[in-house]
Amino acid sequence: MSIWEDVVLPAYPTLNKNLEVDTIIIGGGMTGVQTLFCLRGKNALLVEARKIGSGVTKNTSGKINYLQENALFSFYKKGKVKLAQAYLQAELESISLMKSWIHQYHIDCDFKEVSSYLVSKKVQNQRYFSSFSSFLKQNGIDVLTRIPKSIPYPYGIGVKNTYVFHPFKYLKGLLEHMKRERIYENTEIVKIVTGQNYYYCHTNLGYCIRAKNVVVACHYPFFFFPSFFPVQTSLVKSYEIVFEVPKNLKYTYILVEKPNTSVRFVDFQKKHYQICVGETHDITKSGNDLWHFQNLERLFSVADSSVYLKYSNVDIVTADHLPIIKEVKPHFYLATGYQTWGMSGSVLGARLVSSMIFQTPTLRFKDSSFHPFFYPVHIFSSAKAFLFSKHYQKDWYPSSLTFSFLQGKAMALYRCHGKLHLVYPVCPHMGCSLLFNIVEQTWDCPCHSSRFDMDGNLLKGPALHGICVNFFCDKNVAKKSKPE
Ligand SMILES: Cc1cc2nc3c(=O)[nH]c(=O)nc-3n(C[C@H](O)[C@H](O)[C@H](O)COP(=O)(O)OP(=O)(O)OC[C@H]3O[C@@H](n4cnc5c(N)ncnc54)[C@H](O)[C@@H]3O)c2cc1C
């Protein structure tokens, strides 16, 4: 459960026929839903593999903030002032568009202005902060130089016009204004075939959607070449804990030192909660989720028993810290890679993609944004993850998890509340060994972030089916769970 799931989003049917449309949007997270919103009335449809919002969006902490340590601040620190300026402008325009939708369509989503701070424990960073502060001022931003005493880091700067909101209430508000748009849930695109003037998108249930334009808003360029995913990005896992606090301090902050941590507050059922995100790492580099959760709890001096909710999630970071919002081939668009800043980033994605589809004058950010599509370095890191996955020392596993050989293959047996859960812990996507996440009781892929529950059912792709024992015993039986 994520904290936003107190709001139930509308349910949509599963696609059970062939269709022809102008634009298909694949993926129903922040990017997909907002792209559909930009394209409403224009013969577009959205397909979502599971439920709307069930991807990374579900576990976001919902800060709408342009003061980002791994993008704006890092561009500036590296001397890329022009890029920082273009990025800042694009972020401000996206936030202002989001704000205007919220006001114009009366979307009640707990959207509140808060101050946001970028903080550090190192005095050396003060030098960067003061020149960054001049940069922000030159770009019309009011800068706060005093850090509130309740933030445990002494150095930093802040800004005022940043926001927090309830992402599911926001999505619900947008969806209520798209009653005529076609949305399908539990409809996964498994293959895309390029025709002469159209793309043919095949669903897991064997239906086909013919479209002139395809918008990939589901992260993974699976259409490109499945085995080379991801080709220009790395996947980072972040951990989130939510606990009750006496007061909503009405600010957000981000620690610039690694591992970054960020904080916001939220009011929920008449209580105040603090949401802390941190321990972010490349998924190929660590598998001990319990240790990361414990580190985060230690950092915020909160006892495990006082944590109300905890979860981890994987997002996409690009090699040059710019989002990938691009027409990768004619009429085929990709919007992802927001460096864990997808609230405003997804609005930028939706605006750019819809403006590219309509060939409206290019938005300023477009020209400066792109890098080659192919980054061999990440293929190596993927390959490295594959090899390491086979040799991880899984000494953090509990005694309730054991391995037993069956027909020459190591099966995992996990005992939980007197029940035995048996899976073949190898990812059907590319054969990486899965790691058991004791905290969330899931099997996670350290190569490409597919996720399975303790019975082996698929929770998240790019894998296309689960790892239940049936699959091990008889491939054809398991494939039945993935319709023809
Ligand atoms: C812990 C954490 C905290 C964060 N906090 C913040 C924050 O405070 N502020 C901020 O700006 N950003 C934050 N982010 C980042 C932000 O949440 C994400 O960047 C954003 O939600 C991405 O939205 P999306 O629509 O691109 O992706 P998703 O929400 O992942 O949507 C993609 C959808 O595509 C679907 N899909 C996948 N494959 C297929 C297929 N083949 N066919 C059909 N559908 C498919 C998936 O089921 C999924 O629903 C955070 C991220 C993390 C991990």
| Residue 159 CB less than 6 A away from ligand 1 | no
Same domain, 447 and 331: no
Same domain, 238 and 302: yes
Same domain, 401 and 476: yes
The pLDDT confidence band at residue 1, using thresholds 50, 70 and 90, is: confident
Tell me how far CA of residue 412 lies from CA of 189, 398, 462, 469, 473, in angstroms.
30, 12, 22, 10, 14
Q: Say if 96 falls within a structural domain.
A: no
Q: Among 112-116, 380-384, 436-440, 472-476, where is mean pLDDT lowest?
A: 472-476
Q: What is the pLDDT of residue 336?
A: 87
Q: What is the pLDDT of residue 319?
A: 74
Same domain, 206 and 244: no
Burial zone of 283 (CB within 10 Å; 0-12 exposed, 13-18 middle, 19+ buried): buried
Q: What is the pLDDT of residue 396?
A: 80
Q: What is the pLDDT of residue 369?
A: 41
Same domain, 456 and 403: yes
> Is residue 94 pLDDT above 50, yes or no?
yes
Please give the Cα distance from 470 to 454 (Å, whole number).
14
Residue 460: give the domain boundaries: 392-480
CA-wise closest residue to 169 among 108, 103, 106, 104: 108
SS3 for 384? helix
Q: What is the pLDDT of residue 92?
A: 94
| Residue 289 CB less than 6 A away from ligand 1 | no
CA angle 3, 183, 348 (to 5 degrees): 65
Q: Say if 82 falls within a structural domain.
A: no
CA-wise closest residue to 465 among 475, 473, 447: 475
Q: What is the pLDDT of residue 372?
A: 40
Q: What is the pLDDT of residue 464?
A: 85
Q: Say if 455 falls within a structural domain.
A: yes
Q: Could you read off the pLDDT of 76-89 as tens digits, one per residue?
A: 988 989 889 989 99
CB atoms within 10 A of CB 17: 8
The full DSSP string for 48-76 is: -SSSTTTTGGGG---EE-S--TTTHHHHH
| Residue 62 CB less than 6 A away from ligand 1 | yes
Q: What is the pLDDT of residue 59?
A: 93
Work out which ligand 1 atom sits closest to the CA atom of 53.
49
Span 154-169, mean pLDDT?
Answer: 95
Atom 22, ligand 1: residue with shortest CA distance: 342
> Is residue 167 pLDDT above 90, yes or no?
yes
Same domain, 396 and 476: yes
Burial zone of 260 (CB within 10 Å; 0-12 exposed, 13-18 middle, 19+ buried): middle
Tell me how far CA of residue 351 lies from CA of 3, 68, 169, 172, 279, in angstroms.
28, 20, 21, 19, 31
Q: Which of 37, 218, 314 maximizes ligand 1 atoms within 8 Å of its Cβ, making it the mutation to test the pocket?
A: 218
Same domain, 460 and 325: no
| Residue 2 CB less than 6 A away from ligand 1 | no
Span 58-76, mean pLDDT?
Answer: 91
Q: Could you read off the pLDDT of 473-484 as tens digits, one per residue?
A: 444 434 433 333
Is the CA virtual torsion 342, 347, 352, 357 positive or negative? Answer: positive
Q: What is the pLDDT of residue 285?
A: 82
> Is residue 21 pLDDT above 70, yes or no?
yes
Q: Say if 137 falls within a structural domain.
A: no
Same domain, 224 and 365: yes
Strands 182-184 and 63-64: unpaired
SS3 for 295? helix
Check residue 6 and report its DSSP letter: G
Same domain, 400 and 275: no
Q: Could you read off the pLDDT of 246-268 as tens digits, one per residue?
A: 999 999 999 998 888 999 999 98
Tell me how far CA of residue 299 lies from CA of 70, 161, 260, 314, 343, in angstroms.
21, 28, 11, 21, 26
Work out which ligand 1 atom sits closest to the CA atom of 340.
15
CA-wise closest residue to 234 among 276, 271, 189, 283: 283
Same domain, 42 and 191: yes
Contact 167, 4 (CB under 8 A): yes
The full DSSP string for 389-446 is: HHH---TT--TTEEEEEETTEEEEEEEETTEEEEE--B-TTT-PBPEEETTTTEEE-T
SS3 for 154? coil
The phi and psi torsions of 425 (rounded to 5 degrees) equal -80, 55
Q: Could you read off the pLDDT of 218-242 as tens digits, one per residue?
A: 987 655 554 344 556 778 899 999 9
Q: Could you read off the pLDDT of 409-433 as tens digits, one per residue?
A: 888 889 988 888 989 999 998 888 9
Check residue 247 and report its DSSP letter: -
SS3 for 327? strand
Distance of alpha carbon 335 from its chain centroid, rounded? 12
CATH (domain of 54): 3.50.50.60
Burial zone of 308 (CB within 10 Å; 0-12 exposed, 13-18 middle, 19+ buried): middle
Q: Say if 441 falls within a structural domain.
A: yes
Kindly give the distance from the C-alpha atom of residue 375 to the centroid of ligand 1, in angstroms, as a whole number.
22
CATH (domain of 398): 2.102.10.10
Span 299-307, mean pLDDT?
Answer: 95
User: How many folded domains does the chain comprise?
Assistant: 3
| Residue 232 CB less than 6 A away from ligand 1 | no
Same domain, 329 and 304: no
Same domain, 212 and 324: yes
Work out which ligand 1 atom sits closest to the CA atom of 30.
25
Work out which ligand 1 atom sits closest to the CA atom of 33.
25
The full DSSP string for 254-289 is: EE-SSSPEEEEEEEETTEEEEEEEEEEEETTT---H
Residues of the chain by 3-state class (helix, strand, coil), percent to 5:
30, 30, 40
Token duo for residue 31: 């990017």
Check residue 460 and report its DSSP letter: E
- Max Cα distance, the chain (Å): 68
Q: Say if 190 falls within a structural domain.
A: yes
Please give the Cα distance from 46 to 208 (Å, whole number).
13
Contact 427, 384 (CB under 8 A): no
Q: Say if 99 falls within a structural domain.
A: no
CATH (domain of 282): 3.30.9.10
The pLDDT confidence band at residue 472, using thresholds 50, 70 and 90, is: very low
Q: What is the pLDDT of residue 69?
A: 85
- Between 30 and 288, the more confident residue is 30
CA-wise closest residue to 113 among 258, 225, 269, 251: 251
Angle of helix 81-104 relative to helix 125-138, nearest 10 degrees, comes to 60
| Residue 31 CB less than 6 A away from ligand 1 | yes
- Between 124 and 275, the more confident residue is 275
Q: Say if 114 falls within a structural domain.
A: no
Kindly give the distance from the C-alpha atom of residue 260 to the centroid of ligand 1, in angstroms, as a whole number.
19
